Amino acid sequence: AQTVTQSQPEMSVQEAETVTLSCTYDTSESNYYLFWYKQPPSRQMILVIRQEAYKQQNATENRFSVNFQKAAKSFSLKISDSQLGDTAMYFCAFRNFGNEKLTFGTGTRLTIIP
């Protein structure tokens, strides 16, 4: 069974700074997806960024980028130039190819301080 671990329950950072959220996972599969989802206080889960395991290049989406280390089974999220709207719970998630089930980590509550 796959597991996803987020070791930072809470983090806070000053506005405009850079913050990195950690995630590790465990799987015996070779083809899978990894995701970071954001859940603001309004509660709708929003996809931040995704990474296909077969791609060596790290995914980036504007201010969001990942550091994907497949051998180490690590998938961290870097948020650059953080903004107040980045305040949210961030969940790391895993999904096998051909399977719609997402396995989530326990989440990191990120607070951006003005």
Partner 1 sequence: KAGVTQTPRYLIKTRGQQVTLSCSPISGHRSVSWYQQTPGQGLQFLFEYFSETQRNKGNFPGRFSGRQFSNSRSEMNVSTLELGDSALYLCASSLYGVDTGELFFGEGSRLTVL
Residues that bind partner 1 (CB under 8 A): 33, 35, 37, 42-47, 50, 52, 91, 95, 97-107
* Nearer Cβ to partner 1 (92/112): 92
Question: CA-to-CA distance for 50 and 69, rounded, in angstroms?
Answer: 14
* Nearer Cβ to partner 1 (11/45): 45
* Nearer Cβ to partner 1 (15/52): 52
- Work out how close the CB of 108 gets to partner 1 at its nearest, in angstroms, rounded to a whole number: 12
Question: CA-to-CA distance for 36 and 28, rounded, in angstroms?
Answer: 20
- Work out how close the CB of 28 gets to partner 1 at its nearest, in angstroms, rounded to a whole number: 18
Look at residues 63, 83, 75 and name the one whose alpha carbon lies nearest to residue 21: 75
The three-state secondary structure class of 50 is strand
